[in-house]
Structure 1
Amino acid sequence: MPLHFVAHGEGIPVLALHGWTPDHRLMTGCLEPIFTGLPGYRRLYPDLPAMGQSPADGVNSSDGILSAVQAFIDEQIGTTPFLLIGESYGGYLGRAIARARPTQMLGLAMICPIGTVVENADRHLPEHVVLRSEPGVRESLGPDEDFTDLAVVETAAALTAYRRDIAPGLALADIKALERILKKRELTVDPEDGPPYTRPTLIICGRQDAVVGFEDQYALLPHYPRATFAVLDVAGHNLQIEQPELFDSLIREWLKRVAEEA
């Protein structure tokens, strides 16, 4: 099935996969400011099935979403070596793609990824807290804005980024299709069911992430022996807009490691 996508730049392909419910703008918002100053990369930002402008088209499981992404890679990247950056659910898919294409994928970066525990109810999660706020931010929210549901940082800058990068995708999601897929969200084949992935890897977690947490991701480390594992304080599930400077530095360092080996 065709996936809607946007692409920027020329060079080594970088596939960026957003998380559950938003669309590609979550990834362009945090990554394009980095790549704009780094020539030599072709960034591909698809909308996953049932999200953004990509239809569900009968997809009823994570296996189906993964198949659609694999077909997208075949069509847009082919056999060319590439990098993958996945956020939350996109990180879960990224691990599965690393398993399927270990020699083709030059590096894997994961932002607040789902860890070893897929089902929400079984995850090890901290309580939701707000650690940084600015006067007037909550008062400026519209009646239907859910910014505060996940925010650990309630500042004007974080709200602006949320409204630009995350909220538009949430409004487009096919909720009925996602509810159907959610019943079979766990992939049939465990992404770590195979040899370790030995290319440069990055796992960034939020210390206050009350959606996927950080403890279940630590258990991934034996499978990714070249992984930098960072747990950022004052950061929840929207880590990329709550700690943008640290996020920027970690992504750049990972890109450097990948380039040195490639």
Structure 2
Amino acid sequence: SRPEQVLGLGLVCPIGKEARHSKRTLPPHTVIAADPALMAGLPPADAASYGELAVVQSPETYRRFREEIAPGLGLADDEGLVRVARRYELSTAPESGAPFERPALIVTGRQDDNTGYADVYALLEHYPRATFAVLDRAGHNLQLEQPVLLDAFLDEWLDRVEEAAVS
């Protein structure tokens, strides 16, 4: 509602126009790079939580999952999340106003079975300065599975934001 106060917009694994999970266009859960030995050696709870999200199973993605994702999952207030989900949809869609004319980055995972990628394409008309990428070998933990590509996209987007801020 105040685009003049926003220098840029970066979205990683966002939802498209469908807030309700049941209405999203989602690919099936797919593991592109399986590591059966790694999965067999994990504690059962880790194998379940990591395995349900991992598109690329490797010691490195598991390490980062344990350090960066698992703590948040363990601290999640499940009852609170249910309350939020009941009212997850905004009363006014962000894309209902004038187009956002500043640098934007939208990066999705081709195998993201949580938020998907297909529905996000509908947002592009609202963001005429957006770079939109759908990364293969990436699910909802895209930052773990494609860190080099994500870093490159973020660096380039930050350069565009900085350039727009001084002009």
Corresponding position: 1:224 with 2:122: no
Give SS of 1:234's match. Answer: coil
Moved more, 138-147 or 215-224: 138-147
Please report the TM-score for the alignment, with normalisation by the length of structure 1.
0.61
RMSD: 0.9
Aligned partner letter, 2:81: L
Deviation at 1:209, TM superposition (A): 0.7
Deviation at 1:136, TM superposition (A): 2.2
Please report the TM-score for the alignment, with normalisation by the length of structure 2.
0.94
Q: Taking CA–CA contacts closer than 8 Å with sequence separation of 6 or more, which of the two structures ends up with the larger relative contact order?
A: 2
Q: Who is 1:111 aligned against?
A: 12
- Cα distance in 2 for residues equivalent to 1:107 and 1:226: 10
Q: Of the candidates 30, 33, 43, which is equivalent to residue 142 of structure 1?
A: 43
> How many residue pairs are counted as aligned between the two chains?
163
**1:135-174 equivalent positions in 2, closer than 5 A:** 135-145=36-46, 146-174=49-77
Deviation at 1:134, TM superposition (A): 3.0
Deviation at 1:193, TM superposition (A): 1.5
- Return the structure number with greater helix share: 2
Q: Who is 1:209 aligned against?
A: 112
1:53-94 deviations in Å (ceiling 9; x for gaps): xxxxxxxxxxxxxxxxxxxxxxxxxxxxxxxxxxxxxxxxxx
- Return the structure number with greater strand share: 1
- Cα distance in 1 for residues equivalent to 2:43 and 2:94: 40
Give SS of 2:11's match. Answer: strand
Q: Who is 2:99 aligned against?
A: 196
**1:28-39 equivalent positions in 2, closer than 5 A:** none
Q: Who is 1:255 aligned against?
A: 158
Aligned partner letter, 2:116: G
- Cα distance in 1 for residues equivalent to 2:117 and 2:102: 22
- Cα distance in 2 for residues equivalent to 1:156 and 1:133: 11
Which residues of structure 2 form unaligned runs of 5+? none
Aligned partner letter, 1:234: R
**1:230-245 equivalent positions in 2, closer than 5 A:** 230-245=133-148
Deviation at 1:133, TM superposition (A): 2.6
Give SS of 1:250's match. Answer: helix
Give SS of 1:128's match. Answer: coil
- Cα distance in 1 for residues equivalent to 2:106 and 2:77: 29
* Amino-acid identity (%): 50
Corresponding position: 1:183 with 2:86: yes
Deviation at 1:204, TM superposition (A): 0.2
Deviation at 1:135, TM superposition (A): 4.7
Which residues of structure 1 form unaligned runs of 5+? 1-99
Give SS of 1:177's match. Answer: helix
